[in-house]
Amino acid sequence: MAYRPLCPTQVRRQWFGRSRDGLDPGEVDGFLHRVADELAVLHAELARTREENARIKGALRDWQSRFGPRVVYR
């Protein structure tokens, strides 16, 4: 089966089988690890996006200071 990222609906509708003592600990643990892994990927992607955003904003400020219109106040 191909990997597909979790969507909120999957998390909300996730069902765990029951054992004699309640929920199957292996299923719960596996699901929680998958959620944690997915969140780790998303957090890393968000950090990269924020870094790229800061780099682009800095480049734009540099460009504007060099080539942007000059305002002369009298």
The model's pTM: 0.63
Entry field: residues in the chain = 74
Measured CA to CA in angstroms, residue 17 lies from 20, 27, 30, 35, 65 at distances of 10, 8, 12, 18, 62
pLDDT of residue 45: 93
pLDDT of residue 74: 73
Report the candidate in 25, 61, 11, 26 with the shortest Cα–Cα distance to residue 53: 61
pLDDT (tens, 9 = 90+) of the chain, 74 residues, equals: 677 777 777 777 887 877 777 888 888 888 888 888 888 888 889 899 999 999 999 999 999 999 878 777 77
pLDDT of residue 37: 87
